[in-house]
Structure 1
Amino acid sequence: MSLQPSPQGSLLFHGPTSMYHRDVSLQNAQETTNTGPHAGPKLWHSLGVPQNVHIEDGLVNKALSLFFLYQYPQFMFIYREAFLEDYYENAHQGKYWSYPLLYAVCALGLRASPDAKIREKGDVVYRIAENIILLKALDSPHVTVVQSLLCLAFYELGAGNHSKGWVLAGMAFRMGQDLGFQQDPQFLVSQDSTIASHQDLVIRRRVYYGLYVSDKIISLYLGRPVMLYEEEAAVDLPEALPDFPPLHDWYGLNELTESELGHLGGTVLMPSFEGLIELSKIAEEMLFKVFSTKMVKKPQRDLVLSRSSRLEELSVRLGRWHANLPNHLKWNQWNTTSESLKPHVLILHLLYHSILISLNRHFVRPTSGFAANAGSKETCIASADTIIALIRQFRFQQGLGHSPVLVVYSAVMASSAIFFTQDPTTPTMEKDRRLSFILKALEECSQTHNLAKEACIKLQANIDARNSAIAEKLALETTTNAGVFQQPEYTEAPFMGWVDGTMFDLGAFDLGVSGSLDPMAFRGIGADPSQWLLGSIGSTTEPALIDGSLSNEPWIDFPSTMSNGDYSTTHGYGPQRRDTTEQ
């Protein structure tokens, strides 16, 4: 492997199969010194950015304060102290800040403002950052360009522009690989003079793992394959870097100095970041070994057994991860509301419970390719309740107007769990307070994330469609009880999925599997759906029909959508509904 200068002066990574690969021992150290036009702010000055783009210092300070107060734990690929030192003092000669990165960060911060006029300025600042990056920076790879692209990606995803966000994130991941971030920097020191200190080493590691975590969040978010695999990198975990000293003035960012959130430094935030890294590794395995597109080519029997086995393995890993959290990262819903729920703790537990729901909801009842699991229903219910409790506490203490985009994702996942686990034809579901709270939470998040507005509209449409189905069912029962028999019409059940019938991803906001809720589908196996309850995971026998009428290939005969009977009992994996306290 080697780093070699591009025509623009960037040092680019080439592995052993590259046509550009050369023996590092034969290279001149001077040749691999990173001295391209991107090094420092010279490139941006040469483009006239400071002269042509002027944003008031007060607005920049406001934006930076909001970003580092509320969004920073999800953007740990930026080292706050180095970024601020470099921007305000040029302490690192432009190594850790640039105009496009500054504007991308400011755009995210301004969108979190309670002032509508300031939020609108966030869109303007975003367009400036986007234009600089896409028109001038793509041929000059640099750490700040990677960071900028990822900030732009999350901005677009929060705005509901899924395709654009997906592409921008992919550009960030690819540029990171272009610069060799997948290789631990200790092996590149002799080739890259910009890796001059221990801080430089740690920041590169931090950027890589920030990319890795973001890749998994976005893949979960959209239900798509990951791009960065754990096995394809050899990067040591980052460690905490020094915070500003206690009496530091934070360059006049008063909101940071006055808030306890502003003083959360590396010793507090890095364990949370490490927790996100471990969760991301589990999510990667789940996406690859449970929901991989290639798996559908397996014979149905092998597919169902493989997924059931992976469910148990991943449930154990998730349970172990949760049990091993350090005390300062644990959360208990019975804590008093006076105990502040910090953003880094919030996103850690929201992601954990979202992954639990993603993993378990397809196992609530048997469907094509999935066997029912005894504990999946309780796990989904408990995780949905916990997500709601987390959002409720954060809303009470901080408000949702500046919440991370993960709040939107987890709220949608919680509503998904509710629809998956409840009988949609039961009248008592009509006024589910949990769904009402989720609607309210999404509405409040929508001032920052347009994505939340879209989710709110689709969730309300889904609830309305379900309520209409309930009303029709009650009317039919009333007619039947009056002695007038009427053959029921079985149509597509809108309450089993979004009204457009799409499969789940956060972009489509699907809550379930679309299909016909037709009891006649059970003809030939008996009208009682409970006959289809499958054996518990870990049983020494194969899953079978309870009445013993096991066919040669029962998996092939599964209807695509089952009725909504209760298929589950409690098992030991994941949280239990009777006690969602997180110990």
Structure 2
Amino acid sequence: MQILQKKKIQCEPVDKDLRKKKFNNLYVNTLKEKVKRLESFIIELKKTSNSIKRDELLNSFDIIIDYNDDDNDDNFKINHDNLSSPELSNNFEISKDLPKISTNKTEVIIEKIETGQLSVYGKPVIYMPRQLKTIKKLSSTEFQLFHVPVILGYISNFFRWQYMEYNLYIYRESFLTDFFRDRGDVKESLPYCNEELIFAICACGSAIDFNETVFMHKGILYDSSEKFYNRSRYLLFQKLNTDDCNSITAIQTLLCLSFYDLGRGRTLSAWILSGIAFRIGLHMGFELNLQKSHLDSGINNLTDYDLNVRSRIYWGCRLADSFISFVLGRSPTLEYLNATIPKSENLPILQGIEYFLYYDPIEKDSKISNISNPLEQINALYKIVHKYHEKLYGEIPTSSNDDINNNNNGNGKNNNYHVLHYLHNFNLEAYEWKNNLIELLYWTKTELKTKGYNPNQMSFRYQYYLILLSINKDFIDITNESSNSVSPKNVCLNIIEEIYYAITCFNIYHSYKFTTLTMVYLCILSIEILKNLPDNINLPIQRISMIEFFGTILKESSNSWGLAKCAYKSFCDKSQQSEVTVDFSQFNHKYNMRDMDESLIPSLNYP
């Protein structure tokens, strides 16, 4: 102080000393990026001499007002007095309760919250005005390179054999419309087809039946389904890394790749890719009904058709999420969302797509199946599953009969009784769900013997079987159930019998290479359950016959599904060590009409 007084330097008190204040790296890097962005914008603006282009450039630039919750410095707070200044009056619409920042590009709403701070919300990315979304598209010439028989065959395989099973997050008609349209059409809606989605669909379709005619594209030879898979994944993540991505096709591509991995037993990759897909969906707000929210001003360019397609995509994603989560034994991502988007409706039928529809060998016709009702019903069934899943597996029961049949009141006995109570209620609700189906969706055991060949109809039923088998199989050795009619053992035996009828009928008209992934899962579960049945069951010959039957399906579908190949090898190895030897390698099951009229296993007698 004395030195300062001698030099006649006056000390100014500082209310807030920022010399010791350290800003986090994220904040500093954000500022750096903004400075770079501003510098680039100014340089580009100086280079532009045309007044019209200058106006377009100015209008395209975003006005961003940031508020950092971690920073209490007044210099970083929004000054509302400045918002009403004459210089800004043309750019901002001021409201006392809800100030709005309006630009030609979008609208940002600054919303007050109880703490007195402000939070800023923008519209979901996918609903930005379309002409402002800078997504690189294929030219008409480039896109037509995919219009060749080998690619059309793979796309046809996908939509004929896999579409109705769990791929309803793609709306087939919108994809095909975009796939065949003139890419120079400026009146098109948001794109529902791009290069990486085509490759992903081809990966799934070529895995079913690979064509000997190989496909060459941009110097790359696609001589296996893995080539399609790898190319699709590479293109997609290149776009995700640059944020130059269409959210809708990104979700669809990721889920196609996820199911491809699932069919090859790559469960970790399947789980990761599907998780990314659902988080992209959450980022774009695909569960929201924007027509009834404050965000609806940003969807003026979307037609009712576009909104209905997005509804199909969301509810299709719900089904995909439930399926993947269920077979992997994990919690679903989308189940607990408070979704406001309407239920999916049947969308317009596109003429001339018979090549991409399932051809009924009996009716000699290609028909578009009802999709909205089965989709809604199967999602309702998964709701029942989620309701009981935690109750059934929250406490692992002891599977020993002694814990139930003994006279003590130990914890094991109580736990088992609780589990069996929940399992009993679950089975009753699942049966009630089936009994309440409309006539078009309801089926009987007898019907499966002659109509179990249609994968469009059976995919809905196979998921019902998958759910009941998966949940009941862990409890088939527990006796003294409260109700024998819905006991785990009888439920499983009845379901296996129906699966046997349906797949046997399927084999009359179709090759096993067209076996679906759900059918593979059901064969694996059926073999596991049949091999673990009590020795005193009165069907030893039929049991071995069915084990060989399901094993043959796994063997014949091994080229299509890596999961089937691994399971078949595993069962062969275990069979060699088992007391009841089953020779999978020498057995080729033949359809026998006489057997179809005989009950193979004791079961519930559905009408």
- Please indicate the TM-score interval, normalised by the length of the shorter structure: 0.5 to 0.7
In the superposition, the TM-score normalised over structure 2's length comes to: 0.65
CA contact (8 A) 1:225 1:288 kept: no
The whole-number CA distance in structure 2 between the counterparts of 1:257 and 1:423 is 42
**Bigger radius of gyration among the two:** 2
Counterparts of 1:563-578 in structure 2, within 5 Å, are 577-578=601-602
Counterparts of 1:401-440 in structure 2, within 5 Å, are 401-423=513-535, 428=540, 432-440=544-552
Matched, 1:158 2:263: yes
Partner of 2:230: 127
Matched, 1:79 2:153: no
Partner of 1:26: 100
| Structure 1 residue 215 displacement after superposition | 1.6
Percent identity reads 22
Matched, 1:146 2:265: no
Q: Secondary structure at the match of 1:421?
A: coil
Counterparts of 1:115-514 in structure 2, within 5 Å, are 115=211, 120-137=223-240, 139=243, 140=245, 142-188=247-293, 190-193=296-299, 196-230=302-336, 232-244=338-350, 248-250=351-353, 254=355, 256=357, 263-265=366-368, 268-292=370-394, 300=412, 303-335=415-447, 339=451, 341-366=453-478, 374=484, 375-423=487-535, 428=540, 432-467=544-579
The whole-number CA distance in structure 1 between the counterparts of 2:201 and 2:132 is 19
CA contact (8 A) 2:490 2:602 kept: no
Closer, same or farther: CA 137–59 of 1 in aligned 2, 3 Å: farther
Closer, same or farther: CA 34–84 of 1 in aligned 2, 3 Å: same
What is the RMSD of the two structures over their aligned residues, measured on CA atoms? 4.0
Q: Report which stretch shifted further, 26-35 or 343-352.
A: 26-35
CA contact (8 A) 2:155 2:202 kept: yes
CA contact (8 A) 2:357 2:368 kept: no
Q: Which one of the candidate residues 97, 103, 109 is aligned to 2:193?
A: 97
The whole-number CA distance in structure 2 between the counterparts of 1:340 and 1:77 is 25
The whole-number CA distance in structure 2 between the counterparts of 1:277 and 1:190 is 27
CA contact (8 A) 1:275 1:348 kept: no
| Structure 1 residue 103 displacement after superposition | 1.5
Q: Secondary structure at the match of 1:135?
A: helix
Aligned length: 451
Deviation string 1:341-387 (CA, Å, 9 cap, x unpaired) is 321321221111221122222222349xx989742211111111212
CA contact (8 A) 1:65 1:255 kept: yes
Closer, same or farther: CA 457–294 of 1 in aligned 2, 3 Å: closer
Closer, same or farther: CA 238–43 of 1 in aligned 2, 3 Å: same
Deviation string 1:277-303 (CA, Å, 9 cap, x unpaired) is 12221222233331247999x965664
Extract unaligned runs of 5+ from structure 2: 1-33, 38-59, 61-68, 71-96, 108-122, 215-221, 399-409, 583-598
The whole-number CA distance in structure 1 between the counterparts of 2:337 and 2:425 is 19
In the superposition, the TM-score normalised over structure 1's length comes to: 0.68
CA contact (8 A) 2:448 2:502 kept: no
Q: Report which stretch shifted further, 254-263 or 271-280.
A: 254-263
CA contact (8 A) 2:199 2:228 kept: yes
The whole-number CA distance in structure 1 between the counterparts of 2:364 and 2:168 is 15
Matched, 1:43 2:136: yes
Larger RCO, structure (CA 8 Å, separation 6 or more): 1
CA contact (8 A) 2:493 2:603 kept: no
The whole-number CA distance in structure 1 between the counterparts of 2:312 and 2:368 is 14
CA contact (8 A) 1:425 1:469 kept: no
Extract unaligned runs of 5+ from structure 1: 1-6, 10-17, 471-574
| Structure 1 residue 415 displacement after superposition | 1.6
| Structure 1 residue 94 displacement after superposition | 4.5
CA contact (8 A) 1:185 1:201 kept: no
The whole-number CA distance in structure 2 between the counterparts of 1:51 and 1:396 is 41
CA contact (8 A) 1:159 1:449 kept: yes
| Structure 1 residue 113 displacement after superposition | 1.7
Closer, same or farther: CA 302–237 of 1 in aligned 2, 3 Å: farther
Q: Report which stretch shifted further, 378-387 or 198-207.
A: 198-207
Q: Secondary structure at the match of 1:467?
A: coil
